[in-house]
Amino acid sequence: MTNFALKTSSAEKPQKVLLVDDDDAILRATSHQLTLNGYDVVTAMDAEEAEQVILEDGIEIVICDFAMPGLNGLEFCQKLRNRPETRSIYFIMFTGYGKNDEKIQALKSGVDDYITKSFDPAELVARVHVAQRIVELQRQVVRLERMQTYSELITTLAHEINNPLTGLLGFLELAKIKLKRVPLSEADVEKIVQMLERTHEQGKRIGVVVERLLNLKDYKTKTYLETVRMIDIDTPSPEN
């Protein structure tokens, strides 16, 4: 097999790739090609071992043989797709056959790419580079979604908690001023009681907001001041 290498930046952290095949010679040859191109390669001989590696190492790209003892490659791919923590793994199927109907079945069942074992090393590396680009795009989408969620949460806290908190502190300050008056009239006492009751209401509102935020499983957003998005805590969360 001819060696084929593309230069990768030494400053970048190597992308980890998992190779799964019960043929040790295939594992060594493929691992060698990918290692030459700067990938951090780990191997497994069957689906059970591969699953353990994925859970321990946080693998994002898998190259897996179709025909293996135990779960075959297609069954293993479907198992990964059914678990939230492994659903987004980029899965490349490795096979010695390459029949069109087999390819179609694999792609329909969740396989991202398909390559025969009589591969050109340059093609293998190119396909893994594509996988790496897609994985990085997925990371960027997740980061953007998290940033959006943080922004909406901060806006929600600023609005839903800051408003009643401002009222609570204001009523307490007014009550404190009233209490400093000597002697207190019956009207003063009544006003202080009213202020404390309103303070209590504002405190309970903050408690409700915190409880709803803690119990959020999913949420909708609403527009605040026409342009700012915030979490709608007054609408029940949709059921998963």
231 φ/ψ sector (left φ>0, alpha ψ -120 to 50, else beta):
beta
CA distance 104 to 86: 22
Residue 182, φ and ψ in degrees, nearest 5: -130, 125
Q: 128: pLDDT confidence band, cut at 50, 70 and 90?
A: very high
What is the 3-state secondary structure of the chain?
CCCCCCCCCCCCCCCEEEEECCCHHHHHHHHHHHHHCCCEEEEECCHHHHHHHHHHHCCCEEEEECCCCCCCHHHHHHHHHCCCCCCCCEEEEEECCCCHHHHHHHHHCCCCEEEECCCCHHHHHHHHHHHHHHHHHHHHHHHHHHHHHHHHHHHHHHHHHHHHHHHHHHHHHHHHHHHCCCCCCHHHHHHHHHHHHHHHHHHHHHHHHHHHHHCCCCCCEEEECCCEEEECCCCCCCCC
**Model pLDDT, residue 121:** 83
Taking 70 as the threshold, does the pLDDT of residue 120 lie above it? yes
Please confirm whether the linkage preceding 69 is cis (ω < 30° from 0): no
- Nearest Cα neighbor of 112 from 96, 133, 89 is 89
Q: 94: pLDDT confidence band, cut at 50, 70 and 90?
A: confident
Residue-wise pLDDT tens digits, 192-220: 888 888 888 888 887 777 777 766 666 67
Nearest-10 Cα torsion for 141, 143, 147, 152: 50
CA distance 52 to 45: 12
Intra-chain end-to-end CA distance of the chain, in Å:
50
Of 160 and 2, more confident: 160
Taking 70 as the threshold, does the pLDDT of residue 235 lie above it? no
CA distance 50 to 18: 8
**Model pLDDT, residue 64:** 93
Of 107 and 178, more confident: 107
Region 87-98: mean pLDDT is 84
**Model pLDDT, residue 98:** 62
Region 17-44: mean pLDDT is 92
Residues 6+ apart with CB under 8 A from 216: 231, 233, 237
Tokens 């321990």 sit at which residue?
56
Q: Quote the percentage of the chain above a pLDDT of 90.
A: 27
